[in-house]
Amino acid sequence: MTGDILTLNCGSSSVKFAVFDAAHPKAAARITGKIAGIGRAPVFTARDTEGPLETPGPLNELTTAHTHEDLIARLLDWLAQHHGDQPLLMVGHRVVHGGKSYTAPTRITQTVLSDLDALSPLAPLHQPHNLAAIRAVSARQPNLPQAACFDTAFHRTQDRTETLFALPRDLSDEGIIRYGFHGLSYAYIASVLPDHLGTSANGRVIVAHLGNGASMCAMRQRKSVATSMGFTALDGLVMGRRCGTLDPGVILYLMQSKGMTAAQVETLLYRKSGLLGVSGISNSMQDLEASNAPQAREAIDLFVARAARTLAGMIPAISGLDAVVFTAGIGENSAPVRAAICAQLDWLGLQLDPKANARGDVKISAQTSAVDVLVLPTNEEAVIASACRTLLAT
């Protein structure tokens, strides 16, 4: 199989991409890059295995007027002009929601696309952008095969009880269930756990994906048993801009007593809450850690307390705890947040090695700790590329 696989991870204001050699499953991406600041001040950056790449041509001088579609078309041109030594065999996309039907990576067809369109209201922050990327590639290169890789798919191993809300059965049967997200990240961590934990990798592990979006997944045998996100990516932990777990009565109050519309509530819960809403300063943990404002401290404290409580609450689902893994922007980079979460879990016999934590070592638990604690960078792109290799071979 001589050729490249392009992975696209399209968010509301960014497009992340990576180019992998289809013939070398173990090799890291040949090129990785990002268009950030879409709609504000788009900036394109890319690097190969040697270092940053020059970006002449179609990706220079981007403006606020450029849509995701324009930018993806330019990205395809840039790749063809400067890095097209091998043919592109497939484009693999991160697609946040696969609903009940899509439980594995799937080649894109018109039917698949319209099924996924119907799921957009369940992930309004992500799904429309994921699907726009698929359409942008089709418009530019209609014959190029594309695949969708779903964040929900990893959690389909859960028992029915874990997926149910205590709602009338007809609503569950209709699909109002807990789906869970960040599955590509969890699949990657599950794939590398044996390298770091040996046989304990198949034990009782909780992975904390703490980024702008944040969730946790409790695994046994490296499969999802429970997760903190639910029907939508709003549930669970405090996030950059999302509220996480909320008494549903608050939503009724906002609508009935404050006269807010559904659209206003959606904006409030998805874009104005979380770290940003509580601090009134920023959605970024790094900004809050740099601030002396008491509101910033309060937002971090809430983030930490919810994370520790959620982690502890998942332990019964896997009957104990052998290891905790921190990943994503905050999990990989914030030693203070990791330390604060672990401090609230010391009653489990979980102890950090403060120096290893400050250095960001892979293993940050003390020798005497009853629970291993690891920091592992996630790599959703590698999971998408691997799924594309499998689809290309079948």
Pick from 330, 341, 371, 375: which binds ligand AMP (CB under 6 A)?
Answer: 330
The whole-angstrom separation of Cα 381 and Cα 326 is 18
Nearer to ligand AMP, 11 or 58 (CB): 11
Tell me which stretch binds ligand AMP (CB under 6 A): 118-126, 176-184, 281-289, 348-356. Answer: 281-289
Tell me which stretch binds ligand AMP (CB under 6 A): 34-42, 109-117, 199-207, 330-338. Answer: 330-338
3-state SS of the chain is CCCEEEEEEECCCCEEEEEEECCCCCCCCCEEEEEECCCCCCEEEEEECCCECCCCCCCCCCCCCCCHHHHHHHHHHHHHHHHCCCCEEEEEEEECCCCCCCCCCEECCHHHHHHHHCCHHHCCCCHHHHHHHHHHHHHHCCCCCEEEEECCHHHHHCCHHHHCCCCCHHHHHHCCCCCCCCHHHHHHHHHHHHHHHHHHHHCEEEEEEECCCEEEEEEECCEEEEECCCCCCCCCCCCCCCCCCCCHHHHHHHHHCCCCCHHHHHHHHHHCCHHHHHHCCCCCHHHHHHCCCHHHHHHHHHHHHHHHHHHHHHHHHHCCCCEEEEEHHHHHHCHHHHHHHHHCCHHHCCCECHHHHHHCCCECECCCCCCEEEECCCCHHHHHHHHHHHHHHC
Nearer to ligand AMP, 191 or 212 (CB): 212
The total number of residues shown for the chain amounts to: 394
Q: Which amino acid is at 302?
A: L
Tell me which stretch binds ligand AMP (CB under 6 A): 46-54, 69-77, 168-176, 282-290. Answer: 282-290
Shortest Cβ 284–ligand AMP spacing (Å) = 4
Closest residue to ligand AMP using C-beta atoms? 329
Pick from 60, 109, 114, 286: which binds ligand AMP (CB under 6 A)?
Answer: 286
Q: Which amino acid is at 230?
A: G
CA proximity to 88, closest of 8, 191, 206: 8
285 is an interface residue for ligand AMP by CB under 6 A: yes
Nearer to ligand AMP, 162 or 332 (CB): 332
106 is an interface residue for ligand AMP by CB under 6 A: no
Has 151 been annotated as catalytic? yes
Q: Of 151, 170, 173, 361, which residue is the catalytic one?
A: 151
Shortest Cβ 50–ligand AMP spacing (Å) = 24
Shortest Cβ 36–ligand AMP spacing (Å) = 10
Nearer to ligand AMP, 244 or 329 (CB): 329
Tell me which stretch binds ligand AMP (CB under 6 A): 127-135, 150-158, 160-168, 323-331. Answer: 323-331
Please answer whether residues 271 and 339 qualify as being in contact, where contact means their C-beta atoms are separated by less than 8 angstroms.
Answer: no
Q: How many residues bind ligand AMP (CB under 6 A)?
A: 12
75 is an interface residue for ligand AMP by CB under 6 A: no
Pick from 103, 284, 291, 344: which binds ligand AMP (CB under 6 A)?
Answer: 284
* Sites for ligand AMP among residues 201-220 (CB under 6 A): 211-212
329 is an interface residue for ligand AMP by CB under 6 A: yes
291 is an interface residue for ligand AMP by CB under 6 A: no
Tell me which stretch binds ligand AMP (CB under 6 A): 117-125, 127-135, 254-262, 279-287. Answer: 279-287
The whole-angstrom separation of Cα 8 and Cα 347 is 42
Residues 6+ apart with CB under 8 A from 85: none
357 is an interface residue for ligand AMP by CB under 6 A: no
Nearer to ligand AMP, 281 or 370 (CB): 281
Nearer to ligand AMP, 108 or 304 (CB): 304
Nearer to ligand AMP, 268 or 281 (CB): 281
Residues that bind ligand AMP (CB under 6 A): 211-212, 240, 284-286, 289, 328-330, 333-334
Residues labelled catalytic: 151
